Amino acid sequence: MRIQAAVVEGPGGPFTLRDDLVIEAPRSDEILVRIAAAGICHTDLSTRLRWPQQLSPMVFGHEGAGVVEAVGDEVTSVRPGDSVCLTYRSCTDCGQCTTGHPAYCDTGIFALNASGTRSDGTTPLSRAGDGRPVYGSFFGQSSFASHALAHTSNVVKVPADLPPTIAAPLGCGVQTGAGTILNVLRPPRGSSVAVFGAGGVGLVSVMTAVAEGCRVIAVDPVAARRAKALKFGAVAAVDPQAVGDVAGAVRDHADGGPAFAVDTTGQPTVISQAIATLAQRGTLALVGVGGRAEFDIMTVLTKGIRIRGVIEGDAAPADFIPRLIARYRQGVLPFDEIITEFPFHEIEDAARAASAGEVIKPVLRFP
């Protein structure tokens, strides 16, 4: 079947729309989805910068939403015509998956989601004419395309009346921000939560913690994002470039220090600030993708700080995404207010706007 996709030809290359790709028919355990919307996540943008040349050209995209067009013989969870949200892939059989923690699948989150191929090393995409392979299967989907092949573990049925531009971000960014609060930190009502980085994931963490009755302090250098945090109920929004002591500024708003903190930046300096901010026996959730970070071990030891890495909000999508939809419809998770829509053919403009901080959550609309 011939499809259109945004292809990255090599490391750091732009998203280029091509109409000459072919996608295979679904295998027995696969689901063919016609994509109606796809969110652009920081992971898409950062991964394309360092994606290996030997696995190029590549199709990214891991926040797809659309309608099922065909299913393999073994698929019983959805059928053609169902509206679905796409999320990350897991094996479903290992100890982590069977105990409700598929984000930490023993098969490996990168092996299933960021290898550029199916588990058997094949790719379902190729170029029409010469048949040259195009790599994909990103997060088991590669949804920067008119059609994507996904699997039962990363396809969640959603209500038909839910707009696809709302459904799309649920699969990663919204799930991560909300899950970090609800599934991992679980702050008691009245406790203080500091959120470092008020991008898409950070602002969803803010609105979720506020809905749980917490005092939230947001930290971000972008004025528009700080304003959004305040609109969503944060008691304070700190500009780290305007204060000499970020940790002290946050503690001033949290009775000596928050019990919980979320870092969405992955930046070593910010992580150190978050640790210094916390009260005794506080907990820091590391959500942002980054490299190495250094921190003062004595501070962590003497204050009894707990540091917890979080992937995908430690969420089991089939159960968690319906809960998020319910929160959205109740008005306590208004993440639609951080979305900016772009037509699919403007994907490179949307990526540039996201990288420049001009928009918070770009979502692509497909014809």
For residue 317, tell me if it sits in a domain: no
- Pair (304, 341) in one structural domain: no
Query: Distance (Å, rounded) from C-alpha 152 to C-alpha 119?
Result: 14
Is residue 323, in this structure, part of any structural domain at all? no
The verdict on 20 and 157 lying in the same domain is: yes
Domain that holds residue 130: 2-171+334-365
Q: pLDDT of 17-67, one tens digit each?
A: 999 999 999 999 999 999 999 999 999 999 999 999 999 999 999 999 999
Residue 133 lies in a domain: yes
Q: Are residues 198 and 260 in the same domain?
A: yes
In degrees and rounded to multiples of 5, residue 12 shows phi and psi of: 80, 0
Could you give the 3-state DSSP secondary structure of residue 269? helix
Same domain, 14 and 89: yes
Q: Are residues 117 and 191 in the same domain?
A: no
Query: Contact at 8 Å (CB) between 118 and 199?
Result: no
Are residues 133 and 209 both part of a single domain?
A: no
Establish if 224 belongs to a structural domain.
yes
Angle, vertex CA 238, rays to CA 237 and CA 239, nearest 5: 125
What residue ranges in 137-176 does DSSP mark as E strands? 147-151, 155-157
In this structure, is residue 118 part of a structural domain? yes
pLDDT at 102: 96
Q: How far apart are the first and last CA of the chain?
A: 17
* Number of domains composing the chain: 2
Q: Indicate if 153 and 14 belong to the same structural domain.
A: yes
pLDDT one digit per residue (tens) for the chain, 367 residues: 999 999 999 999 999 999 999 999 999 999 999 999 999 999 999 999 999 999 999 999 999 999 999 999 999 999 999 999 999 999 999 999 999 999 999 987 788 999 999 999 999 999 998 999 999 999 999 999 999 999 999 999 999 999 999 999 999 999 999 999 999 999 999 999 999 999 999 999 999 999 999 999 999 999 999 999 999 999 999 999 999 899 999 999 998 899 999 999 999 999 999 999 999 999 999 999 877 878 888 889 999 999 999 999 999 999 999 999 999 999 999 999 999 999 999 999 999 999 999 999 999 999 9
Non-local CB neighbours of 356 within 8 Å, separated by 6+ positions: none
Residue 329 is assigned to a structural domain of this protein:
no
Residues 217 and 251 placed together within one structural domain of the fold: yes
Helices (H), the chain: 42-50, 95-98, 109-113, 164-167, 173-179, 200-211, 223-231, 246-252, 268-277, 297-303, 317-330, 347-355
For residue 275, give every residue at least 6 positions away whose Cβ sits within 8 Å of its Cβ, in sequence order, or none: 261, 284, 295, 296, 299, 300, 305, 307
pLDDT tens, 124-170?
999 998 999 999 999 999 999 999 999 999 999 999 999 999 999 99
CATH number of the domain encompassing residue 163:
3.90.180.10
Indicate if 219 and 338 belong to the same structural domain. no
Distance CA 207, CA 281 (A): 24
Task: Tell whether 221 and 240 lie within a shared domain.
Answer: yes
pLDDT at position 49, please?
A: 93
Say if residue 231 is in the same domain as residue 360. no
Give the CATH number, domain containing residue 239.
3.40.50.720
Q: Would 45 be classed as within a structural domain? A: yes
Whether residue 324 lies inside any domain: the answer is no
* pTM (two decimals): 0.95
* Domain end residue (candidates: 296, 311, 326): 311
Q: Do 153 and 234 belong to one domain?
A: no
